[in-house]
Structure 1
């Protein structure tokens, strides 16, 4: 475009003028000197497709921010489907053949070392005929078609799975604004810590939401715990009769579609003899599956249980958030005591937020045998763990062990635990090593 506007006797200007007379062959796709970049961007295939792809990409990137994903998941979900526009724009971007080059036959006829300096005499001397140009055909589709075929296949699999019958066998409403759904599906098999994508057609025909499975593989059903934080979860809560106190008959419950299960880092828990499980808030859900599976294996006298010691940490802001998980810990606590292996599971529950009234209540009941919040023998701790001391103690208790550290929590906590895992791992291959694994939170 600059060459067209400057109109000087440079080689760029001469090249841009080729094809002006008969328009049979040209290099410069800008065919006029009465234009501007904005006009070209919105009047050519390359320009329009580029603008559309760029806008789609900007929306996808901005909606990926954590604050959007947490509070406005629907915005995140729908804007990410703009990738279709992005890839369509990418494929057709080259259809206008705006990128042009000299033809192979023209290259053979010209002598570049001579013609580059005698460009004013092109077409006048035998060794420098006027070069011929052609548009380069679009090539992006060759790189895109493979991933697109895989994506279409994945969508077909999801559609097929969504048509399989799912039965909600039980709905439990927990005080901590958490909805528990227990479901059954023919042929459904899972491992600890996996997750599924759920769709409720009566709420939305298009939206799928990921939830961690909180049931164990040994159970005859699979379950999820859903925190009520957005429009979709609120509507699902209402559709399941979460606000009604009376019994809900099965036929009144909404139909559900399930895609999955899919694997996560927690599947590797049983590879380590010593395990640290750290959950923050609702991030405890993958470890519910792990601890349930441990309970079942102990109950069934499974001799193949690899972990010999589990350290469990749960950090939560509100006291009522402990309610749904306390029953599981209480069962584990009782089971281990009865089997004479109370030291197998060490757990620390941290309350990171409380008020003066709660503090007074805790003080009054502190001397009781069981914790006033959870009802467990292990008392709730207040504040946050001193991870330096925790890692140092565990490293001292298990010299030479490979210790799996599993976290489902915020990025700040992930950075802290990752750093501690590195700092407390021995340089000697025979020493203690902490292997950090993070779940998506």
Structure 2
């Protein structure tokens, strides 16, 4: 509902500004009326482009009641949609002005040439430069849109996206020169944007952070343990932007924090090698593992100067038997933390957390923090040592029940967080034997389901073995690992039947699976949130 209201308000306001601008100039011809109308709408939407990327301000808004009124988790998607509209309105605006200039004279080609080449008083903008600044703006917007397409960002060309998107600086300068009234719309979001950038730059450069440990996990996952700054405060599920100068000096990439806020000295990041930067990160630590005495970062041939930095720093490298790397002096920078919809988990009553593959990362932090708070809520009798958990409501956590669903491809992927899940099971067994506050549901998609005749005998044997040993044969957990994909209608039906309060579903994974789960949530009346950044 909030999404539809915001979308409707945005479309209605844009259309209203376009109509008013056209009506105010209708006597000067249809071309100029269209140009002025598009210009009025562009004032709003160009300012909105900046407002939607105020990450620190949006993180603060998540802690206020306004988070219930606006779909803040969709700010990146909203930024993309507004960008597409800005390009469309800009094209129509420029086309209408060119048409007006050409229609004014018979030799319209000559007229257009003069209109574009020379700045004339009365042509609009500062010093009559509106035609020139307008065409420059249109060219920059086209370049930014082309370089921000998914095939560029996810095809191993992040640097192209990053450097082309820095064109927002000349874009805003040109807009201030082009539109006489744009500064009124841009004053507040532009000031906040500059303030956030300056504060972020000062904070990043003031912190002298190092990677304390790097562990290589199956399926090309790098587990980084980073020194936690003293003033670094975050909420479970938050994410940070990471910069490792040894990999790329100017690239910043977002990753969810997988450690709990209650862990005081370090931060955990689990990074799967998918794109160009994450693959370089994994290969770099892999080379350090194989050649501990010879530091040879990937891409040495075209970034050889970085070796000098590492030689001057003087790494003290030691390899352990579990393939972890102790890097006492490896430098990194963090920007954040930034909030996500997962912050609402603790104010829910019955939370269903669904992670697909490496999508478990934000929930690792959340599950640890949940058990920490649950442990603090535990009460015990000093005489008979009987313990119980109070069902009191507080601002910190109102959870009554948590269901965690993790969907992985094969057994190797389970090793990413198997130790953490085993620890959570043990803690719950100690605090509340037989308790059902936290339930784990694991699914392995590469295994044949119970309905498949080929796997029927194997699944029966695994069920008997699990019943006998009270542990799952695949993961070693008390929770049984189910083969195949979840039957969402059955899973959500059981959740609804428990009646432990209002159900909120939080998902982190692929867009295709998110669409399927969102549809089931609608049918059951569950609230759905997806991790986006």
TM-score with structure 1 setting the length: 0.73
Q: CA deviation at 1:54?
A: 2.2
Question: What is the alpha-carbon root mean square deviation over aligned residues?
Answer: 3.1
- After the TM superposition, which residues 250-289 of structure 1 pair with which residues of structure 2 at under 5 Å, given as runs? 250-253=327-330, 255-289=331-365
Deviations 1:170-191 (A, max 9, x none): 2221122111111221211111
Q: CA deviation at 1:360?
A: 11
Quote the Cα distance in structure 2 between the aligned partners of 1:40 and 1:353: 66
Quote the Cα distance in structure 2 between the aligned partners of 1:366 and 1:62: 53
* Aligned twin of 1:351: 444
Q: CA deviation at 1:156?
A: 0.8
Q: CA deviation at 1:322?
A: 1.6
* Aligned twin of 1:57: 141
Deviations 1:114-157 (A, max 9, x none): xxxxxxxxxxxxxxxxxxxxxxxx22233234322222211111
Gaps of 5+ in 1: 1-10, 13-27, 95-137, 426-433
* Aligned twin of 1:23: none
SS in 1 for 2:250: coil
Question: Does the C-alpha gap of structure 1 residues 160 and 309 become closer, same or farther in structure 2, counting only changes over 3 Å?
Answer: same
Quote the Cα distance in structure 1 between the aligned partners of 2:112 and 2:464: 75
**More helix as a share of residues:** 2
Quote the Cα distance in structure 2 between the aligned partners of 1:186 and 1:281: 32
* Aligned twin of 1:191: 235
* Aligned twin of 2:465: 368
* Aligned twin of 1:232: 277
Question: Does the C-alpha gap of structure 1 residues 70 and 317 become closer, same or farther in structure 2, counting only changes over 3 Å?
Answer: farther
- After the TM superposition, which residues 23-422 of structure 1 pair with which residues of structure 2 at under 5 Å, given as runs? 33-36=106-109, 39=113, 42-44=116-118, 45-72=129-156, 73-94=158-179, 138-163=180-205, 164-183=207-226, 184-220=228-264, 221-240=266-285, 244=289, 246-247=318-319, 248-253=325-330, 255-300=331-376, 302=378, 306-339=398-431, 340-353=433-446, 367-369=464-466, 370-398=471-499, 401-422=501-522
Quote the Cα distance in structure 1 between the aligned partners of 2:464 and 2:152: 44
* Alpha carbons 2:216, 2:286 under 8 Å: kept: no
Structure whose alpha-carbon radius of gyration is higher: 1
- Could you tell which deviates more after superposition, 39-48 or 159-168? 39-48
Q: CA deviation at 1:377?
A: 2.6
Q: CA deviation at 1:41?
A: 6.9
Q: CA deviation at 1:257?
A: 0.8
* Alpha carbons 1:309, 1:345 under 8 Å: kept: yes
Quote the Cα distance in structure 1 between the aligned partners of 2:413 and 2:283: 20
SS in 2 for 1:324: coil
Q: CA deviation at 1:371?
A: 3.3
Quote the Cα distance in structure 2 between the aligned partners of 1:195 and 1:321: 22
Q: CA deviation at 1:392?
A: 1.6
* Alpha carbons 1:71, 1:229 under 8 Å: kept: no
Q: CA deviation at 1:298?
A: 4.1
SS in 1 for 2:117: coil
Quote the Cα distance in structure 2 between the aligned partners of 1:203 and 1:158: 21
TM-score with structure 2 setting the length: 0.61
Question: Does the C-alpha gap of structure 1 residues 367 and 394 become closer, same or farther in structure 2, counting only changes over 3 Å?
Answer: same
Q: Which has the higher contact order (CA 8 A, sep 6+)?
A: 2
Quote the Cα distance in structure 1 between the aligned partners of 2:188 and 2:350: 42
* Alpha carbons 2:211, 2:328 under 8 Å: kept: no
Question: Does the C-alpha gap of structure 1 residues 48 and 161 become closer, same or farther in structure 2, counting only changes over 3 Å?
Answer: same
Quote the Cα distance in structure 1 between the aligned partners of 2:189 and 2:414: 43
Question: Does the C-alpha gap of structure 1 residues 372 and 47 become closer, same or farther in structure 2, counting only changes over 3 Å?
Answer: farther
Deviations 1:202-249 (A, max 9, x none): 322321111101000111222111111222223333444565155245
Q: CA deviation at 1:65?
A: 4.0
Question: Does the C-alpha gap of structure 1 residues 176 and 91 become closer, same or farther in structure 2, counting only changes over 3 Å?
Answer: same
Q: CA deviation at 1:267?
A: 1.1
Q: CA deviation at 1:294?
A: 2.2
Question: Does the C-alpha gap of structure 1 residues 382 and 59 become closer, same or farther in structure 2, counting only changes over 3 Å?
Answer: farther
Quote the Cα distance in structure 1 between the aligned partners of 2:415 and 2:183: 54
Q: CA deviation at 1:362?
A: 6.4
* Aligned twin of 2:33: none
Question: Does the C-alpha gap of structure 1 residues 252 and 240 become closer, same or farther in structure 2, counting only changes over 3 Å?
Answer: farther
* Alpha carbons 1:40, 1:47 under 8 Å: kept: no
SS in 2 for 1:201: coil
SS in 1 for 2:254: strand
* Alpha carbons 1:272, 1:402 under 8 Å: kept: yes
Q: CA deviation at 1:333?
A: 1.3
